Structure 1
Amino acid sequence: MNQITKVFTQFLDAVQCLQEALNVPMTEALTESFDNLENHDVKVEMGAPDPDTVELLKGKYASLNYDQMSSKQKVEVYNLLTLKAISDEDRDANQMPTPPILATVITLFMSKLLPKKEQTILDPALGTGSLLYSVVKQLASQNHSQNPFKLVGIDHDEDILNLADVGAHLNGLDIDLYCQDALLSWQGSKPEVIVSDLPVGYYVNDENAGNFELRTKEGHSYAHVLLTEQIVKNLAPDGYAFLLVPNSMISGKLGADFMPWLANKVHLQAIVQLPEKLFQTKVNQKSLLIFQNHGQSQPPREVLLTRLDDLKNEESLVGLNIKLNEWYTEKGK
């Protein structure tokens, strides 16, 4: 048994002990477990957990040597526990954490395109926050550990937002969290940067869908399409959006309607088709869609269109970076 597997097993045992004592979903027990560890205590509310379980948990927590773990180790084991919690509760597939390698792909583009200044970066479908946090941490590592971003996250699921809150703390990040339908009005000023792995499916609030140009004429509208329109509406002038979207939004019948609409609203920058192996089925396959809102900026001479076949091979990322550099140089002429 390797070290991370051993640590994961020990943490899982403590989380499941608390889960059983409180009779709550694992996501809730996971959030409270890390709160207990951070506060060096076992929270008791309405007599639960009982005194015997409190003593049992204190022993389990002590064996974890939590305070001696590095921040990186805490984040790693927390992400694994989060993945298990979401899987075990048979939650919506849209709530599964985004593969970390996709954050690296997005960061390549963000490091080139974003101006070096303080900006608000928002994820309107935050989930556990794994994509946003990974992107920001990578950008900070390229900037001498300086983080110029104000982080904002929106999600309609309070339990998932609680997980995102703990994740932000473990990553050493501050974030403003809003529990709401992202297709309703956003609070605060318009963000300069939006990054998101768009949830795919139907939007059941037909009344609110009527406020969007891209609503369907009959039946439920596509949530991922409406959310892109919402992003365009709320993105600051000259602001950038980096979105993981289903391939159907770019090609096929849906794409034939959506892409001309989008091209009229924003400056398209790049479309990167992601490796098929990353996704379970053809229907689930996604691409990275990057655009800049209208403002003082000019559209690029041409949109960067490329495809990644294998992200496990480092040469694939190197090749993408070369194409990006060539395109960026030409874009500035």
Structure 2
Amino acid sequence: MNELSPIERLFNTFDETAATLQQELSCTYLDALAETAENLFQQKILQDEMSDLAKKRVWKKYEETKLAGYSKEEIRQAYQLAILKGMQENVQPNHQMTPDSIGLFISYLLEKFMRGKKEFAILDPAIGTGNLLLTMLNRQPEASVSAIGVDVDDLLLKLAWCGANLMEQPVQLYNQDGLEPLFIDPADAVVCDLPVGWYPNDVRAADYELKAEEGHSFAHHLFMEQSVKHTKPGGYLFFLIPNGLFEEAGADKLHRFFQKHVHIQGIIQLPLTMFKNKQAAKSILILQKQQEGVLAPKRVFLANMPSMKDRQAMQSIMVKMDDWFKESK
């Protein structure tokens, strides 16, 4: 019989205790997962309404689970698997998680662009469950990174908060619409899997340069403008964008906004095999906020990313990017 991996063992703890709490508290699996994650972090059972038998059952699992024996990445992956299970049970359009492979590649890009910085701040204005931001924080061991996450969905934000606690990552979280005024310091870098679609609050959208001339504005356009506003001059932005971004309504206005405020550093199209259909396909857009003395790159880095499983093709992309960096810096 094969022994379970550390990720599988920890996932089983999350899964079994969340299932017990779900039954005891009459709540969703995701709500129960957040509760059990907080119990595990606090090393006590915080739910008084549970029966003594259920408390004994979950406490036994907690005692068997020593978080100190797991790496931050093992904790993140086990927690992510449990969140994915919960999302499959209760599918909502805004409950989507950025795939791991994309998070790992954006982490690589962040490392490249922030090389040499010993300390920096990163913002995710639509953090969701925090998987993308936490992937990036876990992979920046050489730098001291502080992070801010914003989300309007209180359950997703609670899952992000509990995950950050378990991984002991310093993240400040704000439960609000990311397009409302943000009372935060500008960040050195922004990362965002942009919420794609219409933004229903026309009054709020009216304050943005990228608002639609009539009808609802695109939320993903407004999130890009909000992100640029909250980035330090010379800072970098990494967006997951729909492939049709530059062909859709408002693209001309978006192009003028970019010319005025940012330098496009690169566009990397992700493999179509990563998405359910062609319409859902995305690319990574890399921008740099304009700053006096900072010139646009001699050429924009453009690439079609191969399958992550094709190591040779991935290596080739990395080599091309290294060459581009040497040429641009």
> TM-score if structure 1 supplies the norm length?
0.90
Specify the code of the residue in structure 2 equivalent to 1:167.
G
8 Å Cα contact 1:192-1:236 kept in structure 2? yes
Structure 1 equivalent of residue 70 of structure 2: 70
SS of equivalent to 2:196: coil
Of stretches 237-246 and 1-10 in structure 1, the one that deviates more from structure 2 is 1-10
Q: 1:196 aligns with which of 192, 197, 200?
A: 192
Could you tell me how far 1:36 is from its partner in structure 2? Answer: 1.6
Trace 1:161-310 onto structure 2 (pairs within 5 A). Answer: 161-251=157-247, 254-296=250-292, 297-310=294-307
1:193 & 1:211 partners in 2: Cα distance?
23
Counterpart check, 1:28 vs 2:64: no
Q: 1:14 aligns with which of 9, 12, 17?
A: 17
8 Å Cα contact 1:249-1:259 kept in structure 2? no
Could you tell me how far 1:179 is from its partner in structure 2? Answer: 0.7
Q: 1:158 aligns with which of 154, 158, 164?
A: 154
Number of residue pairs aligned between Structure 1 and Structure 2? 323
Trace 1:42-191 onto structure 2 (pairs within 5 A). Answer: 42-45=45-48, 48-62=49-63, 64-67=64-67, 69-71=69-71, 72-92=73-93, 94-114=94-114, 115-140=116-141, 143=142, 147-191=143-187
Q: Specify whether residues 139 and 218 from structure 1 end up closer, same or farther in structure 2 by C-alpha distance, changes over 3 A only.
A: same
Q: Deviations over 1:133-166 (max 9, x none)?
A: 11222232xx2xxx32111111111111111112
SS of equivalent to 1:183: coil
SS of equivalent to 1:139: coil
Could you tell me how far 1:53 is from its partner in structure 2? Answer: 2.5
SS of equivalent to 2:190: strand
Q: Specify whether residues 260 and 274 from structure 1 end up closer, same or farther in structure 2 by C-alpha distance, changes over 3 A only.
A: farther
2:113 & 2:59 partners in 1: Cα distance?
48
SS of equivalent to 1:258: helix
2:247 & 2:317 partners in 1: Cα distance?
22
1:195 & 1:217 partners in 2: Cα distance?
27
SS of equivalent to 2:101: helix
Counterpart check, 1:312 vs 2:309: yes
Q: Specify whether residues 40 and 117 from structure 1 end up closer, same or farther in structure 2 by C-alpha distance, changes over 3 A only.
A: closer
SS of equivalent to 1:271: strand
Could you tell me how far 1:75 is from its partner in structure 2? Answer: 2.7
Q: Specify whether residues 15 and 178 from structure 1 end up closer, same or farther in structure 2 by C-alpha distance, changes over 3 A only.
A: same
2:299 & 2:47 partners in 1: Cα distance?
60
2:41 & 2:221 partners in 1: Cα distance?
40
Could you tell me how far 1:289 is from its partner in structure 2? Answer: 0.4
8 Å Cα contact 2:10-2:75 kept in structure 1? no
Structure 2 unaligned regions, length at least 5: none
8 Å Cα contact 2:130-2:163 kept in structure 1? yes
Q: Specify whether residues 19 and 307 from structure 1 end up closer, same or farther in structure 2 by C-alpha distance, changes over 3 A only.
A: same
Q: Specify whether residues 198 and 165 from structure 1 end up closer, same or farther in structure 2 by C-alpha distance, changes over 3 A only.
A: same
Could you tell me how far 1:80 is from its partner in structure 2? Answer: 0.6
Could you tell me how far 1:89 is from its partner in structure 2? Answer: 1.7
Q: Specify whether residues 315 and 260 from structure 1 end up closer, same or farther in structure 2 by C-alpha distance, changes over 3 A only.
A: farther
Of stretches 247-256 and 196-205 in structure 1, the one that deviates more from structure 2 is 247-256
1:67 & 1:234 partners in 2: Cα distance?
35
Of stretches 51-60 and 147-156 in structure 1, the one that deviates more from structure 2 is 51-60
Aligned-residue Cα RMSD (Å) equals 2.1
SS of equivalent to 1:119: strand
8 Å Cα contact 1:121-1:191 kept in structure 2? yes
SS of equivalent to 1:81: helix
8 Å Cα contact 1:37-1:66 kept in structure 2? no
Structure 1 unaligned regions, length at least 5: none
SS of equivalent to 1:326: helix
Q: Deviations over 1:208-253 (max 9, x none)?
A: 0111122222322111111111112221111110111111213455
Q: Specify whether residues 58 and 105 from structure 1 end up closer, same or farther in structure 2 by C-alpha distance, changes over 3 A only.
A: closer
1:68 & 1:292 partners in 2: Cα distance?
38
Of stretches 126-135 and 1-10 in structure 1, the one that deviates more from structure 2 is 1-10
1:2 & 1:219 partners in 2: Cα distance?
57
Identity of aligned residues (%): 31
8 Å Cα contact 1:121-1:195 kept in structure 2? yes
1:253 & 1:201 partners in 2: Cα distance?
12
> TM-score if structure 2 supplies the norm length?
0.91
